[in-house]
């Protein structure tokens, strides 16, 4: 029998649950793990329970039910050891506006009992990492939004944590500043082997940064996996094919090709959904040619995480304020509570 070896989980959550004030079930029995060295993305619409999950793992919110370990320490039994192993960059910025960038860093160093030359060297290195060494002498109230986020990022790193929690690290930043943040996060992960647990509303960001993601909604994990696994399972490729001459409806023919998941037709143009274009494209083209029909245009598009999100959550991240009409999800919830 093949032996299954599991790389150690640096975050391990089992049935983690949070009920606020005995009424609001913000997190509902979630179970997941994060492997050491991974960038793990926690995605979901507003109010899904992302920040609450982070707060429980960070020892900042009490756990109503379930268990979690972070860096080998039980969050409930040994919160002090957990706090020493983690860096936290919260959703709300916490840097003091009236202090300079360097003073904020010094304050954090003191808080984590990093002193003397070690503190000075680390502060200088971290400020350089996020290109803030020039601005660091200025009061934070003069910083732009992007500069604040960059400062906040390195404020969580002074004690060299094993795991970094980032709650919406790029919220409200412009495209260039966002991609700069990605660059820093990737570098920290690659060069220092830092495990990153992050939440984000930007699906393109999760796609390019994260090794694995979990999509949460109503406090529960709906799906998890690598971005490509999820796209293959929920998105699929789309081949768009326009024929050069009128023929009989080829929908039944395309539908019959192995691997094809769906076909829609508009005049001479067919949209064919399939998990991987490479697998079925030869059969599609050969079949059309064999029928003596010409192809005037062919293109294919790879799926995006937006499609996955839409498929899983029932609405896109962009129109998350839309009223709930997800009866399938209600059924699942009812089954869970039975
Ligand atoms: N301190 C609190 N007291 C009562 N309810 C709370 C509290 N904090 C959060 N909630 C509720 O718990 C649910 C989950 O909130 P949470 O902040 O974890 O969501 P989120 O996924 O981080 O959302 P966002 O994308 O808006 O940051 C929401 O219904 C929210 O109103
Ligand atoms: Mg949040």
Residue 327 confidence (pLDDT) above 80:
no
Mean pLDDT to the nearest integer, 194-210: 93
Atom of ligand 1 nearest to the CA of 91: 27
Ligand 2 centroid distance, CA of 61 (Å):
13
Predicted local confidence at residue 7, as pLDDT: 56
Domain with CATH 3.40.50.300 in the chain: 9-231
Count of CB atoms within 10 A of residue 332's CB? Answer: 14
Residue 166 confidence (pLDDT) above 70:
yes
Predicted local confidence at residue 328, as pLDDT: 34
Predicted local confidence at residue 300, as pLDDT: 85
Residue 318 confidence (pLDDT) above 70:
no
Mean pLDDT to the nearest integer, 31-52: 95
Predicted local confidence at residue 242, as pLDDT: 94
The answer to whether 234 touches 307, Cβ cutoff 8 Å, is yes
Structure tokens at 254: 């395309």
Q: What is this structure's pTM? A: 0.80
Q: What does the alpha-carbon distance between residue 336 and residue 333 come to, in Å, rounded to a whole number?
A: 5
Predicted local confidence at residue 140, as pLDDT: 97
Nearest residue to 219 via CA among 52, 331, 58? 52
17, 28, 49, 168: which to mutate for ligand 1, most atoms within 8 A of CB?
49
**Which CATH topology does 237-301 take?**
Alpha-Beta Plaits (3.30.70)
Residue 195 confidence (pLDDT) above 60:
yes
Atom of ligand 1 nearest to the CA of 55: 18
Residue nearest ligand 1's atom 3 by CA: 20
CA torsion sign for 178, 179, 183, 189 is: positive
pLDDT, the chain, mean: 87
Domain with CATH 3.30.70.100 in the chain: 237-301
Percent of the chain with pLDDT over 90: 59
Give domain 9-231's CATH architecture. 3-Layer(aba) Sandwich (3.40)
Residue 225 confidence (pLDDT) above 60:
yes
- The phi, psi pair for 337, rounded to 5°, reads -85, -10
Mean pLDDT to the nearest integer, 73-99: 94
List CB contacts of 2: < 8 A, sequence separation 6 or more.
none
Q: At what angle do helices 145-155 and 175-192 cross, to 10 degrees?
A: 10
List CB contacts of 271: < 8 A, sequence separation 6 or more.
238, 239, 240, 263, 264, 265
Atom of ligand 1 nearest to the CA of 216: 21
Residue 324 confidence (pLDDT) above 60:
no
């Amino acid at each position: 029998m093949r032996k299954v070896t599991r790389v150690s989980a640096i975050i391990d959550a089992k049935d983690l649950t949070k009920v606020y004030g005995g009424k609001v079930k913000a997190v509902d029995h979630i179970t997941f793990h994060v492997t050491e060295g991974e960038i793990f993305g926690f995605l979901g619409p507003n109010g899904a329970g992302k920040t609450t999950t982070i707060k429980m793992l960070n020892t900042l919110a009490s756990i109503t039910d379930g268990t979690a370990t972070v860096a080998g320490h039980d969050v409930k039994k040994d919160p002090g050891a957990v706090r020493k192993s983690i860096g936290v960059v919260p959703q709300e910025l916490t840097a003091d506006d009236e202090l300079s960038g360097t003073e904020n860093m010094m304050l954090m160093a003191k808080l984590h009992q990093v002193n003397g030359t070690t503190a000075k060297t680390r502060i200088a290195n971290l400020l350089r990492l996020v290109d803030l060494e020039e601005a660091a002498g200025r009061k934070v109230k003069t910083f732009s939004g992007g500069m604040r986020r960059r400062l906040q990022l390195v404020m969580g790193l002074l004690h060299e944590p094993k795991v970094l929690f980032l709650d919406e690290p790029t919220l409200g930043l412009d495209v260039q500043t966002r991609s700069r943040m990605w660059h820093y996060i990737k570098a920290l992960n690659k060069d220092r082997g830092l495990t990153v647990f992050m939440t984000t509303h930007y699906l393109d960001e999760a796609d390019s940064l994260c090794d694995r993601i979990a999509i949460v909604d109503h406090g529960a994990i709906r799906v998890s996996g690598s971005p490509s696994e999820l796209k293959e399972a929920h998105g699929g490729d789309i081949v768009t094919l326009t024929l050069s001459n009128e023929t009989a409806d080829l929908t039944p023919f395309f539908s019959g090709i192995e691997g094809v998941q769906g076909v829609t037709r508009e005049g001479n143009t067919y949209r064919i959904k399939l998990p991987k274009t490479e697998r079925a494209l030869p059969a599609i083209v050969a079949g059309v040619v064999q029928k003596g029909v010409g192809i005037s245009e062919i293109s294919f598009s790879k799926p995006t995480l937006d499609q996955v999100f839409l498929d899983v959550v029932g609405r896109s991240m962009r129109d998350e304020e839309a009223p709930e009409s997800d009866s399938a999800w209600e059924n699942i919830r009812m089954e869970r509570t039975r």
